[in-house]
Chains A and B, each alone.
Chain A
Amino acid sequence: MEKKANNVLIGINDLKKSFGDQKVLDGINLELHDNENLVVLGKSGSGKSVLIKCIVSLLKHDEGSIKVGEYELTDINEEDLIEVRKKIGFLFQSAALYDSMTVRENLTFALSRLKEGFSEEEMNNKIVEALENVGMPDSIDKMPSELSGGMKKRIGLARTLVVNPDIILYDEPTTGLDPVTSHEISNLINDTKGKFKNSSIIITHDINCVKTVADRIAMIKDGKVYKVGSLEAFINDDDSYIQSFFK
C-alpha cells in the first residue's frame, strides 16, 4: 500500500453512523499510523466494532470519511474495495471459521480469493507457514468443531496472516478466553507486528491485553473519541471515566 508522507495508513474523519434513531458513532476522528498497535477502548455498545466494520465496508457509514491508503471508502467502487480488502485482515470476535471446511480449506479459501497466481504447492507452503506462525501446524486437517476457543482464534489469525495484510483489525481478540490463553493471544498480536511489520487496530476491553499490545490507545465514549494517548498517559490520567477501565 502506498504510504502517505506522515505514515497514516487509515484516516478517519468526522465519522457518523446511526442505526435507526440510535447514534452509534457521532463524529469519530482517528488515525492509524505505520507499524503501530492502536487499541480502541470503550464500554460495550460504544460502537467499537461498528467502527472497524465501517473500515472494511461491512457497514456503510452515514457521514464523514474513511481513507485507507489512497482509497476513500465513501462511494468506493467495487474494484477499489477489492484492493482495500486485500490490504486489510480482519480477526472476528468469534474467529468466524467456516464450519463446513477444514482448517486447510479455511486458509485456502481466503488465500485463493484474495491473492492470485499461486500454484497449489505455493499455496500449501503459505498455509503451513501461516499455521506455524500461530503455533498450530498440527491442526491443518481438523474441523473447526474440533478446536477450542483459543485455537479457533489462532487459526482465525492464521487465516488473516496467510494473505500478508498491511493492516490487521482485531475485534475483541481475547473475549471469552481464559487468562493464560488471553495472554498468549496478546503476545501473538505483538509477535505478528514484530515479524510482519504490520499495523493493527485492536478492539478490546481486556486491560491486560491493552497493557501488552498498545502503542497508542483511543477511548470512545458517546460515539466520540474521548481521549487518544499512550498507555502511560491513560494510566496517569485522573479522569474518573478513564480510571474506571484501568482500576
Chain B
Amino acid sequence: MPDKLHNQEESSLNLNSFLTLIKDKSNSFFIDVANVIEYLQTVLRNLFTKTFEFQEFLKQCYQIGNKSVGLISITGIIVGLVLTIQSRPALVEFGAVAMLPGMVAISIIREMGPVITALICAGKIGSSMGAELGSMRVTEQIDAMEVSNTNPINFLIIPRVLAATVMIPILTLYADAIGIFGSWLGINLKDNVSLDLFINQAFAQVEFIDVFPAVIKTFFFGAVIGLVGCYKGYNAGRGTESVGIAANSAVVTASLLLIIVDLIAVQITDLF
C-alpha cells in the first residue's frame, strides 16, 4: 500500500514537472515570437522614417558580394557539372539528350541556383552578421554607438538587411550563369558542343515564368538572411559564448526559414 502511494506521488510529481516544463517552453516561445515581431516592427518603422546610412549600405553590399563570390563560383560550376553528368544517362536512354541543356538550365534557374546560393549565403553571410553584431554587443560597441547618438538599428541592421536583399538576387543570377557554364563543361566531357549552340538550346526552353518567380523569391531569401543574422547578433547575450551561439543560431534558423520560404514560393508559382 505505501509503495502504491509512493508511486502515485511520484507520477503526479512527474506530471507536474512535465506541465511546468511545457508551460516554461511555451512561455519562452511566445516571448521569442513577441521579440521577433517587435524587432520586425522596429526595422520596418526605421526603414521608412529614419536617415539612411548609404555609405554603410554600399560597404555591406561590397562585403556580401566579395565574401561570397568565390564560394558561389566554385559551387555553381560544380552544381552545373554534376547535374549534367547525373542527368545525361537517363536522357540518353530515352533518346532525349538534346533536351539536356534546356533541362539543366531550367533546374538551375528555377531552383538550384536560388536555393544553393541562398544556403551558401546563409552560412557565409548570416553567420558573419550574427558573429559580428554579437561581438559588438558583448564588447559594448553597440552601447557606445547609442551613446554617440547613432541608432544601431539604422546604422547596423538596416544597411545589412537591405544589402543582403539586393545582393542575393545578383549573386543568384551570377550563380545561374556559372552553373549553366558548368553544365556546358559537363556536356563537353562526352560530346563536342559549342558554347553558342549550348546556350541557344538551353534558353530556347527557358521562359519568362521560369525566371521571374525565381528572381523574386531571391529578394525574400536575402531579406530572411539579413533579418535573421542581424536579429541573432543584435540580441546576443553578454558573455563571449553568446557570439558563437548567435552565429550558429543565425545559420540554422536562416537555412530552415529559406526552405520554408522556398516551399511557399513554389506553391504560389504553381498557381500561375
Known: A96-B144, A98-B144. A113 touches B139 (CB 8 A): no
**B141 and A114 contact, CB distance less than 8 A:** no
Check: B194 CB closer than 8 A to any chain A CB.
no
- Is A104 among interface residues, defined by CB-CB distance under 8 A? no
Q: Are A96 and B148 within 8 A (Cβ)? A: no
A85, B140: Cβ atoms under 8 Å?
no
Does A177 reach chain B (CB closer than 8 Å)?
no
Q: CB distance A113 to B144 under 8 Å?
A: no
Q: Please measure, in the bound complex, the distance between the C-alpha atom of A72 and the C-alpha atom of B143, giving whole angstroms.
A: 21
Count chain B residues whose beta carbon lies closer than 8 angstroms to a beta carbon of A: 13
- The stretch of A87-95, A179-187, A221-229 in contact with B is A87-95
Whether the Cβ atoms of A109 and B148 lie closer than 8 Å is: yes
Interface: A5 (CB within 8 A): no
Residue of B nearest to A94 (CB): B139
A113 and B148 contacting across the interface, CB-CB below 8 Å: yes
Enumerate B139-188 residues with CB–CB distance to A below 8 Å.
Answer: 139-141, 143-150
The residue of chain B having its C-beta at the shortest distance from the C-beta of A160 within the complex is: B147
* Interface status of A86 (Cβ within 8 A of chain B): yes
Which residues of A in the span 56-115 have a Cβ within 8 Å of any Cβ on B? Answer: 56, 58, 82, 85-86, 88, 90, 92-94, 96-99, 109-110, 113-114
Q: How many residues of A contact B (CB 8 A)?
A: 19
Interchain CB contact under 8 A, A98 and B147: no
Instruction: Tell me, in angstroms, the Cα distance from A118 to B110 when the chains sit together.
Output: 52
Provide the residues of chain A in CB contact with B75, threshold 8 Å: none
What is the bound-complex CA distance between A53 and B139, given in angstroms?
A: 15
The residue from A56, A88, A94 contacting B140, defined by CB atoms under 8 A apart = A94
Q: How far is the CB of B141 from chain A (nearest CB, A)?
A: 5
Enumerate chain A residues within 8 angstroms of B135, measured Cβ to Cβ: 99
Closest-CB distance, B134 to chain A (whole angstroms)? 12
**Contact mask B125-136 → A, CB, 8 Å, 1/0?**
000000000011
Q: With a CB–CB cut-off of 8 A, which chain B residues contact A109?
A: 148, 150
C-alpha spacing A96/B139, complex, angstroms: 6
Residues of B within 8 A of A (CB): 135-136, 139-141, 143-150
